Structure 1
Amino acid sequence: MDTFLKQFVNGLSLGSIYALIALGYTMVYGIVKLINFAHGDVMMVGAYTGYFILRAAGATPFGLCLAFFGAMVVCSVLSLVIERCAYRPLRNAPRLNSLITAIAVELILQNAMRIIPFVGPNPRQFPTMDTKFFNLGIVQISNIQIIVIVASAILMVVLNYVINYTKTGKAMRAVSYDMGAASLMGVNVNRTIAITFVIGSVLAGAGGVLYATAYPQVDPLMGYIPGLKAFVAAVLGGIGSVPGAMVGGVILGIVETMTKAYISSQYADAISYSILIIILLVKPAGLLGKKNVVKV
């Protein structure tokens, strides 16, 4: 029982990170129907930003707060550049063109980081605080896991408030429901879409710092697998559904961790991707997604 609870906490920690990254996928898709495959690499840029800040400020609680803030700022600026230069010109283009552009942006970010002199292609050890364990009676949890779970939960609560109780959130929901009608009602569509990209990238930046804190190593390709897993989580929960991305991320993290603990680590990725195939075959809209009925 103790081992099961320990693995459950590990899965909850990993799933919280997947959920943060998946939120960026699902928010962008919900508004512009675009799968932003560069999202995982935005997470990677956030992790590197946190790495350099922690190297300068030290791996302390204050340094970690600075790393969070710096990663969020850098990723938000990067998302504005990507949205304005790469995605906005192709907003009305065929989806295949947008998909190819998203993959191109992903490759550009990966290779640009590899050739930047102060980054380079080699992995680097991410500065982390000393690990301390706390006994909660039925399970032992580390300070790193507490930081990951609590920080993820706070960001999700803030996002839920922004979407449901602010003017910006109402504009985002309006554009998602009907972009043309929202524009006619006075909503600035370009600004709303840009804000959506920024919010998703802020969460990705925070997720990058949390991921590197939990698994202390950074390299230019580190965003590929977590980004892909987050996409699976978004589809599992229902692409376009914010609660679905949260639920899907947590489920995927727990399933992956339990697979490694009780079956084999070699099957963890295969089972994760099998979930994507199964959900597309059985319930294409995802666990919390809604079916779209198109009238002809």
Structure 2
Amino acid sequence: MSTFFQYVVEGLTIGSFYALVALGYTMVYGIIRLINFAHGDLFMVGAFIGWTALSALAASNMPWLLALGLALLAAMLATGVLGLAIERLAYQPLLRAPRLSILITALGVSLALENGVLLMFGPGFKTYPHLLTQTGFYLDGVQITYAQIGIVACSFALMLALYFFVHHTFIGTAMRALAIDQDAARLMGIDVERMIQLTFFLGSMLAAVAGVMEGLYYTQINFFMGFVLGLRAFTAAVLGGIGNIPGAMAGGILIGLLEAFGAGYVSSQWTDVFVFGVLIAVLVVKPTGLFGERVVERM
């Protein structure tokens, strides 16, 4: 049983990264019905911005906790601004265009971000400063590190803060109204364009947090890391019910657990088979995902 619970700990840690990125997918889809395939690459950009800032601050002999906080803040703000710029320049002019046009644009933005980072930083791996140690404790034979506790706690805190913001604030109410009917929201005086921009900004910030935490946890990043994680995070959003914030959280954790169990009990080469197999099985039984609700499409 200790092996089983060890995989649970690993799955919760990995799932925290997926859940944070899945929240960006589900928020954007909930507002404008767009699958933002560039969102996984924003996760990658956030990891590189955090690495750049943290490497510079660590060289100045600044206390590591302060350096980490400043690097994380820099990554969140810079990635949030980048996500906002992408929405303004690439997506906003196409909001009234056919969905296929904006979907192709999202794929183009994804490739542009990947190749931009490739040109700036090169194809090799970059190594984060080793700030997170393997110190922790054993609980009935299960090793739990303080880094894992911090990552899971930080992820859940951000998820709960986002849920509270969307469901218990005036701006969150406006965002939910916009998700139901944009035209009616505009007639009620809601600034639709600004709400969409805020959605992209918040989703990009969460992706940056996940990127920095993954860089700290695994210590190595590269320009292609956003593709695979973005694909699995999108799978998590669909599995939980895309457009549903608690569903994105649950989907991310479930994908992380499936990955940990699949790699531990069978082989890491079969991880995607288990993940997408479960996704297909769930969608066959419940096409809207675990927590999704059927939405009537308005013409």
Q: Report the equivalent of 1:198.
A: 201
Give the 3-state SS of the residue equivalent to 1:223 in structure 2: helix
**Structure 2 residue 186 is matched with structure 1 residue 187:** no
Q: Report the equivalent of 1:128.
A: 130
Q: Report the equivalent of 1:80.
A: 84
Aligned length in residues? 294
Structure 2 CA distance for aligned equivalents of residues 151 and 278 of structure 1:
31
From 242, 245, 267, the counterpart of 2:245:
242
From 250, 257, 262, the counterpart of 2:260:
257
The answer as to whether partners of 1:144 and 1:213 remain within 8 angstroms in 2 is no
Of the structure 1 ranges 156-165 and 131-140, higher mean CA displacement relative to structure 2 is found in: 131-140
One-letter amino acid matched to 1:124: K
From 159, 181, 189, the counterpart of 1:178:
181
Identity within the alignment, %: 47
Structure 1 CA distance for aligned equivalents of residues 250 and 80 of structure 2:
24
CA-CA distance at 1:61 after TM superposition: 2.3
CA-CA distance at 1:130 after TM superposition: 4.4
CA deviation profile, 1:145-183 (whole Å, cap 9, x unmatched) = 122111101111111111111111011001001111000
Moved >6 Å (runs of 4+):
none
Q: TM-score, normalised by structure 1?
A: 0.96
Give the 3-state SS of the residue equivalent to 2:36 in structure 1: coil
Structure 2 CA distance for aligned equivalents of residues 159 and 128 of structure 1:
29
Q: TM-score, normalised by structure 2?
A: 0.95
One-letter amino acid matched to 1:75: T
Structure 1 CA distance for aligned equivalents of residues 249 and 274 of structure 2:
19
**Structure 2 residue 283 is matched with structure 1 residue 280:** yes
CA-CA distance at 1:275 after TM superposition: 2.6
Structure 2 CA distance for aligned equivalents of residues 94 and 112 of structure 1:
27
The answer as to whether partners of 1:121 and 1:220 remain within 8 angstroms in 2 is yes
Q: Report the equivalent of 2:75.
A: 71
Give the 3-state SS of the residue equivalent to 2:242 in structure 1: coil
**Structure 2 residue 140 is matched with structure 1 residue 144:** no
From 270, 275, 279, the counterpart of 2:273:
270
Residues 293, 65 of structure 1: CA spacing in aligned structure 2 closer, same or farther, 3 A cutoff?
A: same
CA-CA distance at 1:295 after TM superposition: 8.1
The answer as to whether partners of 2:24 and 2:39 remain within 8 angstroms in 1 is yes
From 139, 159, 163, the counterpart of 2:162:
159
**Structure 2 residue 119 is matched with structure 1 residue 115:** yes
The answer as to whether partners of 2:12 and 2:256 remain within 8 angstroms in 1 is yes
The answer as to whether partners of 1:20 and 1:246 remain within 8 angstroms in 2 is yes
Residues 130, 36 of structure 1: CA spacing in aligned structure 2 closer, same or farther, 3 A cutoff?
A: closer
One-letter amino acid matched to 2:172: G
Structure 2 residue ranges without an equivalent (≥5): none
From 104, 109, 132, the counterpart of 1:105:
109
Structure 2 CA distance for aligned equivalents of residues 271 and 100 of structure 1:
28
Structure 1 CA distance for aligned equivalents of residues 41 and 73 of structure 2:
18
Residues 257, 79 of structure 1: CA spacing in aligned structure 2 closer, same or farther, 3 A cutoff?
A: same
Cα RMSD between the aligned structures? 1.5
Structure 2 CA distance for aligned equivalents of residues 230 and 275 of structure 1:
14
Give the 3-state SS of the residue equivalent to 2:139 in structure 1: coil
Q: Report the equivalent of 2:100.
A: 96
CA-CA distance at 1:269 after TM superposition: 1.6
One-letter amino acid matched to 1:98: I
The answer as to whether partners of 1:6 and 1:140 remain within 8 angstroms in 2 is yes
Q: Report the equivalent of 2:46.
A: 46
Of the structure 1 ranges 84-93 and 128-137, higher mean CA displacement relative to structure 2 is found in: 128-137
